Copies of this chain bind each other. A is one copy, B any other.
Amino acid sequence: MDRRKALFLTTGIAAGGGTVALTTAFKPHIQPAKKPGRISPSKPAGGWKYSNLNPAATAALAHKNYTEGSCMYAVYTSVISQLADKFGEPYTSFPCHMMKYGHGGVGGFGTLCGTLNGAAALIGLLVSDKKTQNALIADLFRWYEQTPLPEFKPENSESEIPTSVAGSTLCHASTTNWTQASDCGIGSKERKERCRRLSGDVASRLVTMLNDFFEGNYTAPGFDNETVRTCVTCHGKEGKLKTVSTDMNCTSCHSKSVGHQLFADLHYKCMQEKE
Contacts and interface: CB of A to CB of B under 8 A. Distances in A.
Given A93-B90, A105-B246, A98 B110 contact: no
| Copies, count | 2
B95 A90 contact: yes
A46 B117 CA distance: 22
Nearest to A109: B247
Given A95-B90, A98-B125, A112-B111, A176 B243 contact: yes
A39 to B, nearest CB: 14
A220 interface: no
A107 B95 contact: no
Contacts of A17: 179-181, 183
A244 B95 contact: no
Interface string A170-210: 11100110011101011100000000000000000000000
Contacts of A133: 100-101, 107
Contact of A106 (B107, B116, B186, B259): B116
Contacts of A181: 17
B172 A109 contact: no
A16 interface: yes
Category for how many chain A residues contact B = 35 or more
Nearest to A125: B98
B106 A137 contact: yes
Given A186-B242, A186-B243, A258-B259, A111 B111 contact: yes
A93 B253 CA distance: 41
Given A121-B98, A253-B254, A107 B138 contact: yes
Interface in A96-131: 97-112, 116-117, 120-121, 123-125, 128, 130
17 contacts: A16-B179, A45-B98, A93-B93, A100-B130, A101-B123, A106-B120, A107-B120, A107-B136, A108-B137, A108-B138, A109-B137, A112-B112, A172-B246, A176-B235, A179-B242, A253-B254, A256-B258
Interface of A: 16-17, 45-46, 48, 90, 93-95, 97-112, 116-117, 120-121, 123-125, 128, 130, 133-134, 136-138, 141, 169-172, 175-176, 179-181, 183, 185-187, 235-237, 242-248, 253-254, 256-260
Given A16-B180, A45-B98, A172-B245, 15 more contacts: A17-B183, A90-B93, A101-B133, A102-B120, A106-B141, A107-B120, A107-B138, A109-B137, A109-B141, A110-B247, A111-B112, A112-B117, A172-B248, A185-B242, A186-B237
